[in-house]
Amino acid sequence: MLYGLLRKFTGRKPSKDTAKKRLQFALVYDKLEIKDTTLTDLQNDIVDVISKYFEIDKSSLQLEIKRDKDVSALVFNTPILCAKRMRT
């Protein structure tokens, strides 16, 4: 049978190509997904670390993931009240 030839004339794309492309995209996005608790856990850990060195306003901090076309970025915003004095 001449499916290949027929397709050349009619210009219909094989449906499996669509399937493959959709699949590849789905897998990439699946891997970018994170658990609900991950962001809050991360936020708590970051606050702990920063609090060792700075006084920060814990109520007004923000943590978010910004997704652009090409890259995903983790953005953490916090007002610093003052630096802690280190003993050493």
Partner 1 sequence: MEGKIIVVTSGKGGVGKTTATASIGAALALEGNRVAVIDMDIGLRNLDVVLGLENRIVFNIVDVVNKRCKLTQAAIRDRRIENLFLIPASQSDNKDVLTTAGVERAAKILKKEFDYILMDSPAGIEKGFENSIVSASEAIVICTPDVSSVRDADRVIGLLYARSITPKIIVNRIVPQMVAKGDMLSHEDVMEVLSVELAGLVPMDEQVVIATNMGMPLVMQNNSKAGQAFRRIAKRLNGETDLPIQVPTHKTGMWNKLSQKLGFKK
What are the residues binding partner 1 (CB under 8 A)?
Answer: 1-5, 7-8, 14-17, 19-20, 22-24, 26-27, 30
CA distance 73 to 67: 6
CB of 22 to partner 1, least distance (A): 6
Of the pair 2, 73, the CB lying nearest partner 1 is at 2
Asked whether 56 and 81 are in contact (CB, 8 A), the reply is yes
CB of 51 to partner 1, least distance (A): 33
| Neighbour count for residue 58 (Cβ, 10 Å) | 12
Of the pair 3, 88, the CB lying nearest partner 1 is at 3
